[in-house]
Copies of this chain bind each other. A is one copy, B any other.
Amino acid sequence: MSKIKKESGAIDQISKFGSDMVNEIYGNKSPYFTAPVRSRSNIIYDDKEGLLTLGKSEEERNFMNIAQTKKFMQTIAIASKCHTFLKENLHTSIRGLFYQLKYSLGEDIDENLFNEQSESNPLIEDLEAALGLKREDLNLSADRKGFLAGNMRVIDTFGDERLEIDASKQGRSGWSIPSDVDNNMEFIDVKAKYVLVVEKDAVWQRLNEDKFWQKENAILITPKGQASRGTRRLIRKLSDLGLPIYVFNDCDAWGWYIYWTIKTGSMNLAYISNEIATPKARFLGVTMSDIENYDFLKKLTMKTTDIDIKRAQEMLSYPWISKHKEWVIELKKVIQTKTKLEQDSLQGPKLTFIGEYIREKIKNQTFLP
List residues of chain A with CB under 8 Å of any chain B CB: 85, 88, 90-93, 95-96, 99-100, 102-104, 141, 143-144, 147, 154, 156, 158-159, 161, 163, 165, 169-180, 201-202, 205-206, 209-211, 296, 299-300, 342, 344-349, 351-352
Give 20 A-B pairs besides A141-B205, A147-B176 with Cβ atoms closer than 8 angstroms. A88-B351, A90-B209, A91-B206, A91-B209, A96-B206, A96-B347, A99-B300, A99-B345, A102-B300, A103-B296, A104-B348, A141-B202, A156-B172, A158-B171, A163-B170, A163-B171, A165-B169, A172-B178, A173-B178, A176-B176
Contacts of A346 in B (CB 8 A): 99
Contacts of A296 in B (CB 8 A): 103
Contacts of A345 in B (CB 8 A): 99
Distance in angstroms from A274 CB to nearest chain B CB is: 25
Contacts of A349 in B (CB 8 A): 103-104
Q: Cα distance A344–B205 when bound, in Å?
A: 32
Closest to A162 in B: B171
Q: Cα distance A161–B95 when bound, in Å?
A: 41
Distance in angstroms from A154 CB to nearest chain B CB is: 8
Contacts of A171 in B (CB 8 A): 154, 156, 158, 161, 163, 165
Closest to A142 in B: B202
Contacts of A173 in B (CB 8 A): 156, 165, 175-178
6 A-B pairs with CB atoms under 8 Å apart are: A90-B209, A92-B206, A93-B344, A163-B170, A173-B175, A173-B176
Distance in angstroms from A72 CB to nearest chain B CB is: 23
Contacts of A172 in B (CB 8 A): 156, 158, 178, 180
Contact A347-B206, Cβ < 8 Å, known A165-B171, A300-B103: no
